[in-house]
Chain A
Amino acid sequence: MNRDLLKFLAFAVMILLAPLAFQGGYLMNVLVFVGIYTMLAIGLNLLLGYAGQISLGHAGFFGLGAYLSGVLSATYGWNPWLAMPLAALLVGALAFLIGFPILKLKGHYLAMATLGLGIIIYIVFNETVDLTGGPSGLSGIPNLAIGSLTFDSDVKNYYLIWAFTLLTILLTLNLANSRVGRALRAVHDSEVAARVMGVNARLLTVQIFALSAVISSIAGSLYAHTMAFVSPASFGFNFSVELLTMVVIGGLGSIYGSFLGAALLTLLPEFLRAAQDYDIIIYGGLLMLMVMFMPGGLVRGVPDLFRKLLKKGRGSHA
């Protein structure tokens, strides 16, 4: 347990010091996104990696958080600090209610149903023009502020976002190593045995679905308040798939893996500027390759690979 805390502290220190290395450069902005996507990937990973339930509609929850926060603060003049928790509450309640019928479905059917849900939400963003501004988006969303400190620069945003992301990491790590996290993994491994042990599998997965939606919603609110602008294009099916790719690449059921996946998928397109439009091919290819050759994700696959290489190396020397 202490080793886990040390690992977390080391990670947090690395995050805190990172801006020194990049000194306000363009990369700072990218790292803000890495933070937001890490939150999202962790949210989805709780569901996919721990509870073993897929969702292809998480971009919808992300978008709902962004729009609710955006509309409340930009159109109705709410304080963003109030808009954000209310959005999270509403999205969580929605996910909880829809969780009961939707999580009755398994595997492929669940994937299709969540996909459908995500698309419905996406269509609503596009069509409720009076509220959301439709396809052209919603602008003028205020930045978050504490007293006279307004989060309006990349460096400030970096620390704001990462404060939330680190908190998310800490809380989900706690959860994973607790009674609830164990029950969740138990349901994943053998639902019937978990139920015999007294675990209410249905209620538990619905709760996790809602929690994961809440995390996505908060990430959405943060996104809206740092970007000051949102449009439906950021919350479509493709983004749900991108999130899925992050979780799978990083490693199902690994919190730090989600960070790794989010970082890789955010930074990769930056380094592949030339390939701009074609990043989607790379996602597709990566998804397939990972599932085929490294189903445990990078966090497990890379150490395994090293171990194998080391063994081979030793074998040839002996």
Chain B
Amino acid sequence: MQFDQLLQYTLSGLSTGAIYGLIGIGFSIIYNATGIINFAQGEFVMLGGMLTLFFLEALKLPLWAAIPCAVAASTVAGLLFERLAIRPLRQPTPINLVIITIGGSILIRGLAMLLWGKDTHAIPPFSGDEPIAIGGATILPQHLWILAITVIIVSVNRFYFYHTISGKAMRACAYNRRAAGLVGIDVRRMVLFSFIISSAMGSVAGIIVAPLTMTAYDVGVMLGLKGFCAAIIGGMSSGGATVVGGLLLGVLESLGAGLISSGYKDAIAFIILLLILFIRPQGLFGKAESERV
């Protein structure tokens, strides 16, 4: 195995990994604010890509205008999802929440199929597709876009969670929802916020990855699950740890596909997921919490 090849796999793994990380943060934000694992998370990733395409082709907007429109529309979808499906739930048991978010995810996917068909589409790269050589490997400008946007989003996130009132309130909810409610934080609003933020982030992830991997009505399933895997590796953190989890997953997957078999590429993520859940459910970097029943 040549070094160049390893480098190539690692580099391309990093950019897919960054996407997993972003999607994973979306999972974590909702989980921390509400205790819900949103099975529909992947659908917002799909919506990002498909809506960009819609604004580009149906409305003939330029790319720079189509992207914010797509993010805004996906965010509205996230908001509606929380208002129409999660909030009215009369018996919010974990099983009911799993079922309702799965139902929502199927519904969103089905509607996307109804609206845009089953074809796979491409979005143009943000700045050309001239390969850039790094050592013996090459990367595309889009890879750099992905990494840069990931860094920006993680930084903005960090600023939001640590330096704004509403971000701090979200963190309070994550530590203890009841206590947060008692000190006057509007927990229900924070729940809504968490859905807004994570659907926005999911759609961004879907948009920046679309020029590389193409997009279709059903891309959300796998991307969502791998995002969840990243979040589990990162211990459901809404920051760096989950991105690191995503990068790790992306690189392992890319190496596995290159060195072992591309058919088992998707299995790698799920084997890692199961191993982590079995052995270190608190994540790779977290400390074991002392358990109080």
Interface residues in A89-133 (C-beta closer than 8 Å to B): 101-102, 104-109, 111-113, 115-117, 119-120, 123-124, 126-127
Instruction: Say yes or no for B152: interface residue by CB 8 A criterion.
Output: no
Q: Tell me which of B85, B94, B102 contacts A106 (CB under 8 A).
A: B94
Instruction: Say yes or no for A241: interface residue by CB 8 A criterion.
Output: yes
Asked if B225 and A117 make an inter-chain contact with CB atoms under 8 angstroms apart, the answer reads no
Among B37, B94, B95, B97, the one with the most A-chain Cβ atoms within 10 Å of its Cβ is B95
Asked if A295 and B221 make an inter-chain contact with CB atoms under 8 angstroms apart, the answer reads no
Asked if A281 and B102 make an inter-chain contact with CB atoms under 8 angstroms apart, the answer reads no
Among B96, B98, B221, B293, the one with the most A-chain Cβ atoms within 10 Å of its Cβ is B98
Interface magnitude class on chain A: 35 or more
Whole-angstrom distance between the alpha carbons of A248 and B225 in the complex? 23
Asked if B103 and A127 make an inter-chain contact with CB atoms under 8 angstroms apart, the answer reads no
* Chain A interface, >50% SS class: helix
Q: Tell me which of B96, B273, B278 contacts A295 (CB under 8 A).
A: B96
Whole-angstrom distance between the alpha carbons of A116 and B271 in the complex? 8
Closest Cβ–Cβ distance, residue A129 to chain B (whole Å): 9
Whole-angstrom distance between the alpha carbons of A292 and B107 in the complex? 15
Q: Which residues of B contact A111 (CB under 8 A)?
A: 37, 39, 98
Asked if B106 and A241 make an inter-chain contact with CB atoms under 8 angstroms apart, the answer reads yes
The number of residues on chain B lying at the interface, defined by a beta carbon within 8 Å of a beta carbon of chain A, is 47
Q: Tell me which of B114, B225, B271, B277 contacts A109 (CB under 8 A).
A: B277
Instruction: Say yes or no for A288: interface residue by CB 8 A criterion.
Output: yes
Interface residues in B34-77 (C-beta closer than 8 Å to A): 36-37, 39
A62-103 toward B: CB 8 Å interface, digit per residue (1/0)?
000000000000000000000000000000000000000110
Asked if B106 and A107 make an inter-chain contact with CB atoms under 8 angstroms apart, the answer reads no
Instruction: Say yes or no for B228: interface residue by CB 8 A criterion.
Output: yes
Whole-angstrom distance between the alpha carbons of A54 and B273 in the complex? 17
Closest Cβ–Cβ distance, residue A80 to chain B (whole Å): 29
Instruction: Say yes or no for B90: interface residue by CB 8 A criterion.
Output: yes
Instruction: Say yes or no for A24: interface residue by CB 8 A criterion.
Output: no
A277-299 toward B: CB 8 Å interface, digit per residue (1/0)?
11011011111100110010000
A-B pairs under 8 A by CB, number: 125
Asked if B273 and A113 make an inter-chain contact with CB atoms under 8 angstroms apart, the answer reads yes
Asked if A280 and B110 make an inter-chain contact with CB atoms under 8 angstroms apart, the answer reads yes
Closest Cβ–Cβ distance, residue B88 to chain A (whole Å): 6
Closest Cβ–Cβ distance, residue B2 to chain A (whole Å): 26
- With A108-B36, A124-B267 already in contact, 11 other A-B pairs whose C-beta atoms are closer than 8 Å: A108-B94, A112-B273, A120-B270, A277-B118, A278-B110, A280-B106, A284-B103, A284-B104, A285-B107, A287-B100, A292-B88
In the complex, the 8 A-B pairs of residues with the closest C-beta atoms, listed nearest first: A284-B106, A107-B94, A281-B110, A287-B103, A284-B107, A108-B37, A288-B103, A116-B270
Hey, which bits of chain A sit against chain B, CB under 8 A? 48, 52, 54, 56, 101-102, 104-109, 111-113, 115-117, 119-120, 123-124, 126-127, 192, 237, 241, 244, 248, 277-278, 280-281, 283-288, 291-292, 295
Instruction: Please name 12 pairs of A and B residues whose Cβ atoms are closer than 8 Å in the assembled complex, sorted by A.
Output: A54-B95, A54-B98, A106-B94, A108-B94, A109-B281, A127-B261, A127-B264, A237-B221, A278-B113, A281-B114, A284-B107, A284-B110
